[in-house]
């Protein structure tokens, strides 16, 4: 009995380890010109020095997060974005950058959580809904993507009737349908 229990625990541990997503936090950009990289390094050093004097300054923390991201250190970038959110949980720019960072490193589940937080704060922004739908689809959450698009369309009300907005909503809905088709998910339409 003891051997069976140990075997089951080991198998569970193995399956859990295999199912966990491997995140590559190295997001360096090999084609970045040396002058640009030097600029980001200089800015990083400046803001790190400023943080020594004022460690809870959200603007300095944001700049450090941003510069680490530009220099390819995704883990450090995440660390500092999270510090900004500890101070200002609803900072939309930080939420946007953090969601994009998670998307860039391939952690679509985390990206979907953060982008959903951003969407809940700003349901009428074309850019936010575009990012929300894209990231939710990458996370395999097509129903939530469609819900977000429907909320957006309701929230913008009469503005949804412009040709440009109608085209945006149509194109975005088509991306959801394309995702479903590519993944063998049937879309059911309900008559009202």
Closest C-alpha to 29, from 70, 63, 65, 75: 70
Query: Does 126 share its domain with 166?
Result: yes
CATH of the domain at 67: 1.25.40.10
Could you give the residue ranges of the DSSP H alpha helices within 20-125? 34-53, 58-70, 74-87, 92-105, 108-121
Q: Which residue bears the tokens 């004022």?
A: 54
Looking at every residue in the chain, the average pLDDT score rounds to 88
Let me know: does 88 contact 94? Beta carbons within 8 Å: yes
Query: Does 71 share its domain with 96?
Result: no
**26 is a domain residue:** no
**4 is a domain residue:** no
Query: Does 114 share its domain with 146?
Result: yes
Query: Does 83 share its domain with 99?
Result: no
Domain count of the fold of the chain: 2
Which residue range is the domain that position 154 belongs to?
Answer: 91-185
Query: Does 118 share its domain with 178?
Result: yes
Per-residue DSSP letters for 102-142?
Answer: HHHHT-HHHHHHHHHHHHHH-TT-HHHHHHHHHHHHHTT-H
Would you place residue 127 in the very low, low, confident or very high pLDDT band (cuts 50, 70, 90)? very high
pLDDT in tens, 79-93: 999 999 999 999 999
Compute the distance between CA of residue 13 and CA of residue 181 in angstroms, rounded to an integer: 34
Would you place residue 19 in the very low, low, confident or very high pLDDT band (cuts 50, 70, 90)? very low
pTM: 0.83
pLDDT in tens, 164-186: 999 999 999 999 999 999 999 98
Query: Does 154 share its domain with 84?
Result: no
pLDDT in tens, 37-66: 999 999 999 999 999 999 999 999 999 999
Domain termination site, one of 43, 59, 89 = 89
- CA atoms 130, 68, 74, 61: torsion sign: negative
**192 is a domain residue:** no
């Amino acid at each position: 009995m003891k051997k069976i229990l140990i075997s089951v625990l080991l198998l569970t541990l193995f399956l859990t380890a295999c199912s966990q997503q491997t995140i590559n936090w190295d997001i360096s950009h090999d084609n970045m010109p040396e002058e640009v990289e030097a600029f980001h390094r200089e800015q990083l050093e400046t803001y790190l020095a400023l943080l020594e004097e004022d460690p809870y300054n959200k603007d300095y923390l944001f700049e450090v997060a941003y510069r680490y991201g530009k220099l390819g250190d995704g883990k450090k970038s995440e660390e500092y974005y999270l510090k900004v959110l500890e101070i200002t949980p609803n900072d939309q720019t930080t939420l946007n950058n953090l969601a994009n960072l998670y998307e860039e490193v391939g952690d679509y589940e985390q990206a979907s959580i953060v982008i959903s937080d951003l969407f809940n704060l700003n349901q009428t922004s074309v850019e936010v809904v575009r990012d929300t739908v894209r990231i939710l689809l990458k996370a395999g959450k097509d129903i939530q993507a469609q819900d977000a698009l429907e909320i957006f369309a309701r929230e913008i009300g009469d503005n949804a009737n412009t040709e440009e907005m109608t085209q945006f909503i149509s194109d975005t809905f088509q991306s959801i349908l394309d995702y479903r088709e590519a993944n063998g998910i049937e879309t059911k339409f309900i008559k009202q």
